[in-house]
């Protein structure tokens, strides 16, 4: 009877241990799946935010100027558009850097826009940094620019990224025109 009891205890220990390992694996798989889903929701939110009419108008507006003209915006409206763009992309950079938004997907979908924005607003950013006596200014955006440049070099080394202006005529059609 002692031997049978030892066998029952050993079997129940093995079954309990196996059940615990399986449960841990299921919990790990569930958390991993949930994490992916949350990151995909964050990515969808990112695209919704960037495709808003307000954001698209702001991006189109800054592309109407030469970068030198944006160093010191001439109106409060232009300044608000510049700040809207930089604030949103700074936050996006922080979210991507902290892995709230998947880096590979965010960079692959936004690298061209980020580099165009950087081209248009680089002089403003540098001037703003000087106005604030140095130090970082929009570090999430700066990080995003670095990542976008690296992505471009790895995947599209020969591509030239240039902002362009949209020109609307009276018949409500539009054409693109290269910007400097």
Task: Assess whether 27 and 103 both reside in one domain.
Answer: no
Task: Assess whether 95 and 174 both reside in one domain.
Answer: yes
Model confidence over 26-63: pLDDT tens digits?
888 888 888 778 777 777 888 888 889 999 999 999 99
Which pLDDT does position 70 carry in this prediction?
A: 96
Task: Assess whether 116 and 136 both reside in one domain.
Answer: yes
Task: Assess whether 95 and 150 both reside in one domain.
Answer: yes
Model confidence over 103-130: pLDDT tens digits?
999 999 999 999 999 999 999 999 999 9
Q: Final residue of a domain: which of 9, 26, 51?
A: 51
Predicted confidence (pLDDT) at residue 178 exceeds the cutoff of 60: no
Task: Assess whether 156 and 122 both reside in one domain.
Answer: yes
pTM: 0.74
Task: Assess whether 71 and 135 both reside in one domain.
Answer: yes
For residue 126, give its domain range.
54-178
Main-chain phi, psi angles of 166, to 5 degrees? -100, 130
Q: What percent of the chain has pLDDT over 70?
A: 92
What ranges in 63-180 are assigned the alpha helix state H?
67-70, 76-97, 103-131, 139-155
The whole-angstrom separation of Cα 17 and Cα 15 is 6
Task: Assess whether 44 and 75 both reside in one domain.
Answer: no
Task: Assess whether 104 and 24 both reside in one domain.
Answer: no
Which pLDDT does position 29 carry in this prediction?
A: 86
Q: Is 178 helix (H, G, I), strand (E, B) or coil?
A: strand
* 155-164 mean pLDDT: 87
Task: Assess whether 76 and 122 both reside in one domain.
Answer: yes
**How many domains is the chain partitioned into structurally?**
2
* 53-81 mean pLDDT: 94
Kindly state the DSSP code that residue 174 receives in the 8-state scheme.
E
The whole-angstrom separation of Cα 137 and Cα 132 is 8
How many CB atoms within 10 Å of residue 127?
A: 15
Task: Assess whether 26 and 82 both reside in one domain.
Answer: no
Predicted confidence (pLDDT) at residue 101 exceeds the cutoff of 90: no
How many CB atoms within 10 Å of residue 91?
A: 15
Task: Assess whether 73 and 3 both reside in one domain.
Answer: no
Task: Assess whether 61 and 123 both reside in one domain.
Answer: yes
């Amino acid at each position: 009877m002692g031997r049978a009891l030892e066998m029952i205890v050993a079997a129940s220990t093995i079954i309990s241990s196996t059940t615990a390992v399986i449960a841990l694996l299921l919990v790990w798989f569930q958390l991993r799946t949930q994490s992916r889903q949350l990151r995909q929701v964050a990515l969808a939110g990112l695209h919704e935010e960037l495709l808003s009419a307000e954001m698209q108008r702001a991006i189109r507006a800054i592309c109407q100027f030469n970068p030198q003209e944006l160093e010191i915006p001439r109106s409060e409206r232009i300044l608000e558009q510049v700040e809207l763009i930089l604030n949103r992309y700074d936050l996006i950079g922080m979210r991507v850097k902290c892995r709230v938004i998947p880096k590979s997907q965010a960079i692959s979908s936004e690298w061209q826009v980020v580099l165009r924005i950087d081209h248009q607003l680089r002089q403003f950013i540098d001037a703003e940094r000087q106005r604030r006596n140095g130090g970082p200014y929009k570090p999430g955006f700066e990080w995003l620019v670095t990542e976008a440049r690296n992505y471009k070099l790895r995947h599209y080394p020969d591509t030239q990224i240039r902002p362009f202006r949209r020109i609307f005529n009276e018949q409500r059609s539009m054409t693109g025109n290269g910007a400097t």
